């Protein structure tokens, strides 16, 4: 196991990780530290445990909001595709009706 050192709210933590993942873990740690610092400025020093909890919950809230946005986009894309398909089918049906109408006119 590899080790990565991160600092959150001024305290250093040594974390185990898969080899080659040290830089990623350090980057995530820095981002988490930034969130904790933002919450400290907004809420005051509530203690590490509460700040970490608040940071984790706020990150999950953002994640859920982004996931919902992705889901809505996928639904919009599907609706658009269905509308395009329906328009194509209606155009094809109109062309067939017109062709049949001409045949009836020619036969009469």
Whole-angstrom Cα distance, residue 92 to residue 87? Answer: 9
pLDDT tens per residue, range 41-74: 998 888 888 989 999 999 999 888 888 877 778 8
Mapping DSSP to helix (H, G, I), strand (E, B) and coil, where does residue 95 land?
A: helix
pLDDT tens per residue, range 77-95: 888 998 989 988 889 899 9
How many domains, in total, are found in the chain?
A: 1
Domain assignment of residue 92, given as a range: 2-107
pTM: 0.60
Structure token digits, residue 72: 């809505």
């Amino acid at each position: 196991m590899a080790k990565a050192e991160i600092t959150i709210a001024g305290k250093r933590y040594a974390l185990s990780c898969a080899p080659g993942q040290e830089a990623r873990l350090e980057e995530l740690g820095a981002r988490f530290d930034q969130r904790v610092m933002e919450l400290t400025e907004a809420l005051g020093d509530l203690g590490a445990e509460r700040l970490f909890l608040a940071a984790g919950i706020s990150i999950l809230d953002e994640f859920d909001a982004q996931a919902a946005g992705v889901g809505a986009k996928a639904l919009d894309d599907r609706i658009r595709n269905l509308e395009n398909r329906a328009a194509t089918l209606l155009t094809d049906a109109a062309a067939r009706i017109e062709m049949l109408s001409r045949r009836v006119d020619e036969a009469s």
